[in-house]
Amino acid sequence: MESKFKYTSERNVQIVIALLKAHGIHRVIASPGTTNMTFVVSIENDPWFQVWSSVDERSAAYLACGMAAETGEPVVISCTGATASRNYMPGLTEAYYRKLPVLAITSTRGNHKIGHLIDQQIDRRNIPNDIVMESVTIPMVKDSEDERYCEIEANKAILALKLNGGGPAHINMYTKYSKDFSVKELPAVHAIFRHTAFEDKLPDMPRDGKIIVSVGAHANFSDRLTEAVDRFCATYDAAVLCDHTSGYRGKYEVHYQLVCGQKQWHSPLSNTNLCIHIGEVSGNPFTIKAAHTWRVSPDGKLRDTFGNLRRVFMMPEEVFFEKYASVKASHTEYRDALLEEVEIMKSKLPELPFSNIWMAQRMVDRLPKGCELHLGIYHSLRSWNFFRLPSGIQAKCNVGGFGIDGGVSTMMGASFSHPEKLFIGVFGDLAFFYDMNVVGNRHVENNVRLLLINNGKGNEFRNYGHPCYFLGEEADRFVAAAGHYGNKSHCLVKDYATDLGYEYLSASNKEEFNALIDRFLTSETTNKPVLLEVFTETEDESNALEQTLNIITDSKYMMKQKVKKIVKDFIGNENIEVVKKIMKK
- Rounded to 5°, the CA angle 112-118-122 comes to 70
Give the C-alpha separation, 179 to 435, whole Å. 58
475 lies in some domain: yes
Check whether residue 448 and residue 579 sit in a common domain: no
Dump pLDDT digits (tens) for 328-340. Answer: 878 999 999 999 9
Give the C-alpha separation, 233 to 279, whole Å. 17
Contacts of 369 by beta carbon, 8 Å cutoff, 6+ apart: 390, 392, 393, 523
Q: Percent of the chain, pLDDT > 70?
A: 92
Dump pLDDT digits (tens) for 110-156. Answer: 776 666 556 666 777 668 889 999 999 999 999 999 999 999 999 99
Check whether residue 296 and residue 413 sit in a common domain: no
Check whether residue 247 and residue 366 sit in a common domain: no
Contacts of 471 by beta carbon, 8 Å cutoff, 6+ apart: 461, 479
Determine contact, residues 214/238, Cβ cutoff 8 Å: no
Check whether residue 489 and residue 424 sit in a common domain: yes
Check whether residue 339 and residue 439 sit in a common domain: no
Check whether residue 330 and residue 384 sit in a common domain: no
For residue 561, the enclosing domain spans 555-585
The confidence band for 83, taking pLDDT boundaries of 50, 70 and 90, is: confident
Per-residue model confidence (pLDDT) at position 584: 47
pLDDT at 574 over 60: no
Sheet holding 239-241, edge to edge: 193-196, 309-314, 290-296, 272-278, 211-215, 239-241, 253-254
Helix and strand numbers, DSSP H then E, in the chain: 18, 19
259 lies in some domain: yes
| Residue ending a domain, choose from 312, 345, 378 | 345
Check whether residue 119 and residue 265 sit in a common domain: no
- The CATH number linked to 44 is 3.40.50.970
Number of domains in the chain: 4
pLDDT at 569 over 80: no
Per-residue model confidence (pLDDT) at position 556: 59
Check whether residue 279 and residue 153 sit in a common domain: no
Check whether residue 36 and residue 155 sit in a common domain: yes
1 lies in some domain: no
pLDDT at 96 over 90: yes
196 lies in some domain: no
Please give the model's pTM, rounded to 2 decimal places.
0.90
Helix (H, G, I), strand (E, B) or coil at 465: coil
Dump pLDDT digits (tens) for 371-392. Answer: 999 999 989 999 999 999 999 9
Per-residue model confidence (pLDDT) at position 86: 86
The confidence band for 560, taking pLDDT boundaries of 50, 70 and 90, is: low
5 lies in some domain: no
Check whether residue 258 and residue 117 sit in a common domain: no
540 lies in some domain: yes
197 lies in some domain: no
* Average pLDDT across the chain, whole number: 92
544 lies in some domain: yes
Check whether residue 124 and residue 163 sit in a common domain: yes
- The CATH number linked to 333 is 3.40.50.1220
Check whether residue 391 and residue 456 sit in a common domain: yes
Dump pLDDT digits (tens) for 50-67. Answer: 999 999 999 999 999 999
- Rounded to 5°, the CA angle 168-174-180 comes to 120
Name the helix (H) or strand (E) containing 429: helix 429-434
